[in-house]
Amino acid sequence: MPGSMMQPDLGQIGALQGARAAAMARWQSNGWPDHRAEAWRFTRLSAIDKMELRPAGDAGPMAVSRPTSLPANAVVLTFHNGIMDTAGLDALPAGVTASTLDGNEASLDDLAGLVPVGHPVSNLSLAAMTGGLCLDIVGDIAAPIILLFGGDDNAISTHPVVLVKLASGASAVVGEWHQAAVGLSAPLVAIDLAAGATLDYAKVQFDSRSTTHVAATGLRLGTGARFDGFQLSVGGKLARLETHVTLTGEDADCTLSAIYLGRNSQHHDITSNMAHNKGHCHSSQIIRGVLDDSARGVFQGKVYVAPDAQKTDGNQMSRALLLSRKAEANTKPELEIYADDVLCAHGATVGELDETQLFYLTSRGIRPETARAMLIDAFLQDAIDGIGNADLAAMLRPVVDQWMTAGGNR
């Protein structure tokens, strides 16, 4: 049983109802996973309980600087210390309806059914959320919607909760950009794509080096739905981006790729769980990691195929590049298949820069640091090329370039 000092301390949160009360009970009973939890054996969270954290109860000043690489035509919804600035809702295009989750038991029940069951962030952030945002999308929405998360207090934990629902046949472009300087950032996101819906999605984790970022995302795809998603993790001292996907209708298509870039003693963890519950669905994951100094990286990816999910096509490939002998990469790909007519594959490699290629470039007058950057860029290129939406690709590319040329995040 967790002790009374379990962090963050939720003792000041009042009485809760419904899904939030159930989440609070699970959090108080289970807390953070310990070293015996297999899913967390590469990423230990014991340091969180050594902090003294309180959930943000007031957003304070709402000014959050807008990154220059965000699409010029994007509608930006700002969260400060995990709490949304409602002024930005006026700019949402026709076809997008925003509402608060607080007190909306039907939407909270929907969200609780989408996010990873029993996950510590599902429990903690649902219990500790302030407000929460629900976006209902109908029709074809051309302008990207970017959720911008900032914060400036290392003594607090932030718990933004977002539910995104696309109606049948709807299409949209949504992004997350995290640039907070807080003790703990624990975003909880649920995405529901109805039949034939299409969503292009990207997440940039660019929090400060003092921040622990532990995120949970739940995604459900209906018949013929398409999700094209990408995650980029460069910030934080410890970051875990965990996504659970359920393909609930035939002919659904999910791409969920990621890049993590680590320096100094950073720890990056990309974890995914892809559940093919119906047949004739496709999923693809390309994971690339680059680690320098004493950084550590983790990829855990499970593909589950249900007994009646025939004609499943699921694949994942993880590759890590170590720039230092002190860096460490851990990979754990898994296939759990109960159908016999499937095409599934996984693989993982860990290696160093090719000294022959490096010598070839430097022998032709290219400076060593430029040659290294060129080889790293080539290593990442297939993952970046897989980003189908031009606006999201343009948003991600400057972060990768900065990491390679200027030493990365703050």
Q: Are 295 and 269 in contact (CB under 8 A)?
A: no
pLDDT value at 74 more than 90: yes
The answer as to whether 211 is a domain residue is yes
Q: Are 157 and 8 in contact (CB under 8 A)?
A: yes
Do 150 and 36 fall into the same domain? yes
Query: Hey, which residues does 342 pair with through a beta bridge?
Result: 312
Domain boundary residue, one of 249, 284, 307: 249
The answer as to whether 32 is a domain residue is yes
Mean pLDDT of 228-253: 98
**How many C-beta atoms lie closer than 10 Å to residue 35's C-beta?**
9
Position 227, amino acid: F
Residue 61 pLDDT class (50, 70, 90 cuts): low
Do 359 and 241 fall into the same domain? no
Q: DSSP code of 86?
A: G
Stronger pLDDT, 219 or 35, i.e. the higher one: 219
The answer as to whether 261 is a domain residue is no
Work out the angle at residue 155's Cα, subtended by the Cα atoms of residues 150 and 160, and round it to the nearest 5 degrees. Answer: 40
pLDDT value at 3 more than 50: no
Lowest mean per-residue pLDDT among 70-84, 113-127, 148-162, 356-370: 356-370
Strand order in the sheet with 83-84: 83-84, 75-80, 145-150, 171-178, 198-205, 226-233, 253-262, 282-291, 312-322, 342-352
pLDDT value at 110 more than 90: yes
Q: How far apart are alpha carbons 354 and 389 in whole angstroms?
A: 31
The answer as to whether 310 is a domain residue is no
Q: Are 189 and 203 in contact (CB under 8 A)?
A: no
**How many C-beta atoms lie closer than 10 Å to residue 127's C-beta?**
22
Closest CA to 145 of 84, 87, 208, 200: 200
pLDDT, position 295: 97
Whats the size of the chain, residue-wise? Answer: 410
Alpha helices in 31-117 (DSSP H): 105-114
Residue 375, token pair as written in the block: 């080889």
pLDDT, position 62: 67
Mean pLDDT of 224-240: 98
Alpha helices in 96-238 (DSSP H): 105-114, 120-128
Omega into 33 within 30° of 0, i.e. cis?
A: no
Q: Which residues contact 137 (CB under 8 A, 6 or more apart)?
A: 95, 96, 97, 164, 165, 166, 167, 170, 172
Mean pLDDT of 358-380: 88
Do 233 and 102 fall into the same domain? yes
Domain boundary residue, one of 249, 268, 292: 249
Q: How far apart are alpha carbons 120 and 46 in whole angstroms?
A: 13
Q: How far apart are alpha carbons 103 and 131 in whole angstroms?
A: 9
Closest CA to 201 of 120, 137, 151, 288: 137
Render 355-369 in DSSP notation, one character per residue. HHHHHHHHTTT--HH
Residue 408 pLDDT class (50, 70, 90 cuts): very low
The answer as to whether 347 is a domain residue is no
Strand bridging mode 161-166 / 96-100? unpaired
Strands (E), 154-311: 156-158, 161-166, 171-178, 184-185, 188-193, 198-205, 212-221, 226-233, 238-247, 253-262, 267-276, 282-291, 296-305
pLDDT digits (tens, 9 = 90+) for 268-304: 999 999 999 999 999 999 999 999 999 999 999 999 9
Closest CA to 199 of 224, 232, 179: 224
Number of domains in the chain: 2
pLDDT digits (tens, 9 = 90+) for 161-218: 999 999 999 999 999 999 999 999 999 999 999 999 999 999 999 999 999 999 999 9
Closest CA to 204 of 227, 179, 172, 237: 179
Highest mean pLDDT: which of 131-135, 242-246, 380-384?
242-246
Do 232 and 368 fall into the same domain? no
Q: How far apart are alpha carbons 190 and 203 in whole angstroms?
A: 13
Q: Are 396 and 383 in contact (CB under 8 A)?
A: no
pLDDT, position 257: 95
Residue 1 pLDDT class (50, 70, 90 cuts): very low
Stronger pLDDT, 289 or 36, i.e. the higher one: 289
pLDDT, position 4: 44
Q: Is pTM beyond 0.85 here?
A: yes
The answer as to whether 107 is a domain residue is yes
The answer as to whether 327 is a domain residue is no
Whole-number average pLDDT of the chain: 93
Mean pLDDT of 19-34: 94
Domain of 78 in residue numbering reads as: 18-249
Q: Are 245 and 273 in contact (CB under 8 A)?
A: yes
The answer as to whether 348 is a domain residue is no
Domain boundary residue, one of 222, 249, 276: 249
